[in-house]
Structure 1
């Protein structure tokens, strides 16, 4: 019923999983670091915290990468 709403999300996850592991870890860590720096100066950057945590959850190695396959 709502599969048309999930297509962009699933497409983004597929694109994100195809990037290099350093990039997949670097972007969320940079967002979290930026959010922490802004918090130290008194600004709360909720979007940075949210995106950083969500992207960090999806930055792990896939099952194929764990088995040694590289596409």
Structure 2
């Protein structure tokens, strides 16, 4: 018999599923500023919200998608 503690083993959810679950279950929204599904005005809105809540990003900051 194999026993794994909760959170170990099994299938890992892909990052998009984690984001989707966070939105549906807790009302949390995780958005990449360079998400291709967003239009330019939507990306600007995300950038403005991020700056309002967390401050400006350091100059020269590279956006990485994983």
Q: What TM-score, normalized by structure 2, do the two folds share? A: 0.27
Structure with a larger share of its residues in helix: 1
Greater relative contact order structure (CA < 8 Å, 6+ sep): 1
